[in-house]
Amino acid sequence: MTTTSAEAPQPLPVQPPPGCPFDPPEGLGRLRLEEPLSRISLPDGSRAWLATRYADVRAILGDRRFSSDTTSPGYPRSGMTGGAPVDGAARGFIRMDPPDHTRLRRMVTRDFMVKRVEALRPTLQRITDELCDAMAATDPAEHPVDLVEALALPLPSLAISLLLGVPYDDHELFQRLTGTLLSREKSEEERRTARAELVAYLDALVRAKRERPGDDILSRLATEQQDAGELGHEDVVAFAALLLIAGHETTANMIGLSALTLMLDPETAGRLRDDPSLIRGATEELLRFHSIIRNGPRRAATEDVEVGGRLIRAGEGVVVAVPAANRDGATFEDPDRLDVCRPNAQHHVAFGYGIHQCLGQALARAELQVVIGTLLRLFPTMRPAVPLDEIPFRTDMAIHGCHALPVTW
């Protein structure tokens, strides 16, 4: 399962260099240059490969010989966040391979397809406007406002709650549990407890949907798909957990970081304000630049596969460094510069690559585009209320971002 050597290799780099919160974790750039496929130590002492070059990352994620199944031999489970590793249906389809992955993903693909998201855009705009109106109405004596709490987290949370049919009134519960699940600093035991609590909540919710279905994804899965024998109750709960967690935390952090980046770069903000047609490309560039996924994706080789001149053997685990791939100068010219007109920005792997690429990417893009456009328009003077080094960045989390973003205007 793992290769042993006399000297334990370094752990996965996770900390940006001091004072440079927008840089990829320190050490990834050197690895990409000197040892693009290197060995790392996982928290339990096991070993895995770490891929840092764009070409290698795409090769690995696009190759079905690399398994996403967390029960595959050699899968690098140690240090995974998002919940203690579980087996069976409860692990959700992102931790499965075809044909199960394909069958389950296709049950919800239509809910996140481009035209469905475009139809939702007016709703996203309305939610954003309401949140922004509430911010604008705050008494200046109460400034600063935390942009994460006021906008970045509620928008995606409200949107995914609406789509899934999760009562938004319960958002404190599911946001707290998601926070525990995605923290690198919580113990496996704490994550297991949080996951159990989330599953218990969703279990009751799915049962209620079966009794009294509404017009939402969970109701459909709990009635149509369950009645047709395509899904069991446990599968529906697993869908709920996966979509709820994936649906708000990631976008929330991209919103916070994007807003902060533009506040610190008035020239770029001005360009986007003057020409909103640039916002779509800017969103891709911000996704590339920030690459918030910091703890994977992860795979296990099911056969011996050569990648970038190194042989990865069957049963060995691989961790992919998205921030390193997205700053690879061989693919992105002047990669450390934020260039909102970069022609190939959409080639980023911020949503992953291969058949597991983010299901909710159209929704995430639309939310980001709506928020960026609205903030630029309504709050042209918004700025951080504290120096950069006082902003609490999420260096303890599997998803990068800001825990809080105090702003004023």
Partner 1 sequence: MRVTVDPDKCCGAGQCVLVAPEVFDQRDEDGIVVLLDAAPPADRHEAVREAAAICPAAAIEVDA
**Binding residues vs partner 1 (CB under 8 A):** 61-62, 102, 105-106, 109-116, 346-347, 351-359, 361-362, 365
Name the residue nearer to partner 1 (CB basis): 36 or 352.
Answer: 352
Identify which of residues 111 and 146 has a Cβ nearer to partner 1 in the complex: 111
**What tokens appear for 178 in the block?**
């998601």
> 149 or 230: whose CB is closer to partner 1?
230
For residue 221, the minimal CB distance to partner 1 (Å) is 14
d(CA 300, CA 315): 6
Residue number with CB closer to partner 1 (359 or 375): 359
Nearer to partner 1 by C-beta: 105 or 310?
105
> Residues near 95 by Cβ (< 8 Å), separated by ≥ 6?
68, 69, 70
Provide the 3-class DSSP secondary structure of residue 197.
Answer: helix
Q: Distance between CA 169 and CA 283 in Å, rounded? A: 30
Distance CA 86, CA 351 (A): 23
Beta carbon of residue 13, minimum distance to partner 1 (angstroms, whole number): 25
Distance in angstroms (rounded) separating the CA atoms of residues 125 and 366: 9
What's the closest the beta carbon of residue 25 comes to partner 1, in angstroms? 24
Q: Between residues 109 and 138, which has the closer beta carbon with respect to partner 1?
A: 109
CB of 349 to partner 1, least distance (A): 9
Report yes or no: 311 and 304 within 8 Å, Cβ to Cβ.
yes
Within 85-227, where are the H helices?
A: 100-105, 114-136, 147, 154-164, 171-181, 188-211, 217-220, 226-227
Report the nearest approach of partner 1 to the CB of residue 70 (Å). 19
| Smallest separation (angstroms) from partner 1 to the CB of 26 | 29
> How far out from the chain centre does Cα 150 lie?
20
User: Position of tokens 């793992």?
Assistant: 2
Minimum CB distance to partner 1 smaller for 193 or for 357 = 357
In the complex, minimum distance from the CB of residue 73 to partner 1, in angstroms, rounded to a whole number? 25
- What angle (nearest 5°) sits at the alpha carbon of residue 270, between those of residues 266 and 271? 120
Task: State the nearest-atom distance from the C-beta of 288 to partner 1, in Å.
Answer: 12
- If you write DSSP's letter for every residue of 303-330 in order, what string do you get? S-EEETTEEEPTT-EEEE-HHHHTT-TT
| DSSP at 142 | G
CB nearer partner 1, residue 332 or residue 379 = 332
DSSP codes, 2-60: ----SSPPPBPP-PPPTT-TTSPPTTHHHHHHH-SEEEEE-TTS-EEEEE-SHHHHHHH
